[in-house]
A = this chain, B = another copy of it.
């Protein structure tokens, strides 16, 4: 498996940051707080935070600012998993090899913990002490970050993508429809993970933002193609959840539409396009290139 220098370092960094956020909440309802902690801190690859950190590194943004970006993205991602796993949605019992939140607690608590984690995402952006390098004040940057997160998370982003995903269950959809679905459900947050760091810098041009955005959309799609491949070819132990669950749930997948070899070719092609996009940026993009490769070469 491809390894990434600094992945564990940034995982630790974001885990510490998020743990501190939860520790700073006063205890009103201990069970709800515990469920939020369970959803946010038990396991998780921290892909979105990692992407935000290495983008921040590449474009020379103070990593203190990226903490807020990464933390808010992970809160949105975690809330979406709590809700997606619910019986009324994907009805999953396991997540990351452990009982899903509604199994470990109960459905009502999992719903509320997801709700509170979404609010926490905006809390982090609005209340973080941003670095003092911003001219005069960081408020315009913070407001732009809220705007970016809104677009990535809401009806026009991740949440709308999940609705399309539910609508596509038990139904065959076209490759084009599958791509729209994934560009919203997964791509929007990954795109935010490169664009939000770019908002923290005054030096990233509109053209470079566009290239970063293309890179993120390409690896987002590659991630989903690879996810579908892994779901078919992995073992339950590697996956931390039952294999073949997409097929069992009657979801449209890339291997189903393209065949396994076709899906593998597509993942490789998306990777090459993502690497190509990076060559048009005037930064050290080695970590971003490694991350793209990691996404397609991972086996879990």
Mask, A145-187, CB within 8 Å of B = 1, is 0110111011110011111101100000000000010001000
Within the complex, the shortest CB–CB distance from A112 to chain B, in Å, comes to 5
Q: Is A111 an interface residue (CB 8 A)?
A: yes
* A29 B116 Cβ-Cβ under 8 A: no
Instruction: Report the contact-size class of chain A (Cβ under 8 Å from the partner).
Output: 35 or more
Query: How distant is the Cα of A225 from the Cα of B104 in the complex, in angstroms?
Result: 35
Q: Is A126 an interface residue (CB 8 A)?
A: yes
Q: Is A43 an interface residue (CB 8 A)?
A: no
Query: How distant is the Cα of A146 from the Cα of B36 in the complex, in angstroms?
Result: 21
Report B-chain residues with C-beta under 8 Å of the C-beta of A31. Answer: 163, 167
Q: Is A220 an interface residue (CB 8 A)?
A: no
Q: Is A262 an interface residue (CB 8 A)?
A: no
Query: How distant is the Cα of A153 from the Cα of B112 in the complex, in angstroms?
Result: 11
Given contacts A126-B146, A126-B150, contact A156 B25 (CB under 8 A): yes
Chain A, 209-257, CB within 8 A of any chain B CB: none
User: Which of the listed residues A36, A122, A166 has the most CB atoms from chain B within 10 Å of its own CB?
Assistant: A122
Mask, A75-92, CB within 8 Å of B = 1, is 000011001001011000
Q: Is A197 an interface residue (CB 8 A)?
A: no
Copies in the complex: 2
Report B-chain residues with C-beta under 8 Å of the C-beta of A89. Answer: 108, 111
Report B-chain residues with C-beta under 8 Å of the C-beta of A167. Answer: 29, 31
Minimum CB distance partner of A150 in chain B: B123
Given contacts A29-B163, A137-B140, contact A83 B111 (CB under 8 A): yes
Report B-chain residues with C-beta under 8 Å of the C-beta of A277. Answer: none
Mask, A82-125, CB within 8 Å of B = 1, is 01001011000000000000000011110110111011101101
What 4 pairs between A and B have smallest CB-CB spacing?
Answer: A119-B154, A88-B107, A32-B163, A29-B163
